[in-house]
Structure 1
């Protein structure tokens, strides 16, 4: 468990003369690079991207994950790279909407009442984040990451030969009433001011492009620049396999704590014994909260649990991803069928799923795409890691200089994973970061 395999160096790295026999200065620099070790806690899409980017900076990297890479929140998401999703979830007027939504059985917002004492402080911060000035600031911060989605992913997807899992189809946001469209005006303007390209279509124009759309849809906002993966799990698995091919190591173990010395953690404590560490990256999704607390940093991170249903053998294809503004569900054609995703359920991350919620997602999906037939082939729940200000934590631990944090990406873990990994590698090597990380500081709360 303590063994590190040496990553293979790409032939094009290092510049002219790199690796020549007799070039002693270059050999010394390369040897110093290869002495650097990093341990990434969490092998979801964010952790895997962190590991790959660190490898590209010459680190020997170990991933520590209790289960198979990509099997938690990364497994069953909608698949969209949400590059148009700069709009935060806390918006002006949310205080009036939340109580009604909590008591509406068909609402996308769910809260297990036994979880209220823990979730209440989160919701108070969430409401505070809905002030107009905060919304503008948060949208700009989110967008500062989103504009680098391609740059963060491109070398990883190319290196893993994983382009077959990505589609450049665009996305449609649907509206079933003029009232819903009117209520979205501020959010659409916020996107436009942050550089998102949008086309407004009427319902008939939209159905010419997507014949399966319900006749109830009267307006669509087309987002042609949004792309997606047809299988988030297979994409994550392909990247994890590339990490192994490049000499990385994956340890199947549950991280329970740390042994801390004068400079920071010297070991991570797992159910399989201690592991010596140098640089530590905490990218464990919603399970990052208790581990960060052990390292002296408290964060208001909650599990915002999403559900999906999969429909197989439907006999028709959706050419684009669909997002319903009225129903808060997403629908997309995936590798193994049509997937409908939705809901934000606040509950303990490991609590048993309530599949009545998945059934609600199914009903909304059929209302938006009436051609969906039969019972779902599968149902699933996964816990999104969410902060009340709709921003991830990306940065160095305030307490320990050898610890980097990368968690809390809410609905955008898939989208932001590539650039997050790039930023973590830049922090680890002391390079200037591609993005100003001030809005994502761990100590901002």
Structure 2
């Protein structure tokens, strides 16, 4: 009976059945699955296949505690040093600086109190819906083990209690479910953590997945089981004029009734072809995957060191460094390698003898906009919709994005006002 209820098609869907979703990352897959459940004939296209990018290499953290836009005025004094430090947590490649400058100018504007308040409210609105939507997703896909709801920790090594209390109040005042723990209380939760840790914020209503790629594959498998299609094929551009046509890398032309662009960091040229110029740039995220099991039950981020440790099925993932350098520059291996000394400091018994040669380096591309909000909703071209620009929260927002976008594309009103996420906000 449940499967039948997924295909109660109304007349609007019957008349516009064909949908192409461009992008097989977690956002595109969640949108495609929800569209299929609403009765659309769904084909997903991706140049590299399912979960080939950031959707497999992310930190696996459903980070609903992250309600603050990245454009924070307290960063201003630190920004020059952060950007120029080759091993800092937030860096810009010198050769890319001139190309990133327009993005950073918009980023600075979003530090204004009114903009920051607006953007924070829009982030929180998505966060409030994300865990429930993700829970429903994994239940429907038959993979509940891929969502672990044990919260996360932000640990401190400073002995300045005022710093910890200020951070606690910042999150608590923003409505985040959080507890302030002493160092001993932290080690009761996570005995393998260093005795140098003096306290932590315990975010009690967040979660993680022990295998981000397996989650993508489970969503893809469910889509295929319901009759959807996934093809490894890139899209070059949209055909101009009336009607919806795509030009594929192979030269093949494809027609569709509706189109969803969910190509993450590669969305900018397709968005322009659909009539919208968006200030999308790329944060190059790094991780180091180690075979050792951390013994942790939940993700642990470091306030002082600006990185995160996530327990994974295949070992332990260290992540957290960001680099502006575009889509073409090669990986900077040292930005993954620099995470290991931090892991040794936080988990000395686990990683004391670990070496870089044991790990696997990875770099992926986060699609980032200067206001820290995604682009969700219709484009400037009839029948074309957007779901991209989720920056650090693609995994967190994927399931709720699928619910909202599929509702909109079916001709109904989403439960959340999508105005703050419109592509037109950049006009």
Q: TM-score, normalised by structure 2?
A: 0.93
| 1:151–1:56 distance in 2 versus 1, CA, 3 Å | farther
Report how far residue 66 of structure 1 moved: 0.7
Q: Tell me which of 349, 361, 375 is aligned to 2:327.
A: 349
User: Could you say which residue in structure 2 is the equivalent of 1:436?
Assistant: 417
- SS of aligned partner of 1:75: helix
- SS of aligned partner of 1:267: strand
Report how far residue 38 of structure 1 moved: 0.7
Report how far residue 32 of structure 1 moved: 5.6
1:230 maps to 2:210: yes
- SS of aligned partner of 1:87: coil
Q: Tell me which of 48, 60, 64 is aligned to 1:67.
A: 48
Q: Conserved in 1, the CA contact under 8 Å of 2:6 and 2:37?
A: no
Q: Tell me which of 290, 297, 301 is aligned to 1:311.
A: 290
Query: Whole-Å Cα distance in 1 between the matches of residues 161 and 377 of structure 2?
Result: 38
User: Could you say which residue in structure 2 is the equivalent of 1:5?
Assistant: none
User: Could you say which residue in structure 2 is the equivalent of 1:379?
Assistant: 361
1:211 maps to 2:204: no
Query: Whole-Å Cα distance in 1 between the matches of residues 173 and 182 of structure 2?
Result: 22
Question: Per-residue CA shift, 1:85-123, capped at 9, x if unaligned?
Answer: 111111122221110112334410121111111101111
Report how far residue 181 of structure 1 moved: 6.2
Q: Conserved in 1, the CA contact under 8 Å of 2:61 and 2:396?
A: yes
1:49 maps to 2:30: yes
Q: State how many pairs are aligned.
A: 422
Q: Tell me which of 258, 267, 276 is aligned to 1:288.
A: 267
Report how far residue 158 of structure 1 moved: 1.7
Question: Per-residue CA shift, 1:269-321, capped at 9, x if unaligned?
Answer: 3325111121010000000011112222111111111111112134x511121
Q: Conserved in 2, the CA contact under 8 Å of 1:152 and 1:419?
A: yes
| 1:377–1:351 distance in 2 versus 1, CA, 3 Å | same
Report how far residue 364 of structure 1 moved: 1.8
User: Could you say which residue in structure 2 is the equivalent of 1:166?
Assistant: 147
RMSD of equivalent CA atoms = 2.1
Unmatched segments (≥5 aa) in structure 1: 1-7, 19-25
Query: Whole-Å Cα distance in 2 between the matches of residues 288 and 105 of structure 1?
Result: 28
Query: Whole-Å Cα distance in 1 between the matches of residues 408 and 50 of structure 2?
Result: 24
User: Could you say which residue in structure 2 is the equivalent of 1:4?
Assistant: none
1:271 maps to 2:250: yes
Q: TM-score, normalised by structure 1?
A: 0.90
Unmatched segments (≥5 aa) in structure 2: none
1:362 maps to 2:309: no
Q: Conserved in 1, the CA contact under 8 Å of 2:158 and 2:198?
A: yes
Query: Whole-Å Cα distance in 1 between the matches of residues 373 and 354 of structure 2?
Result: 38
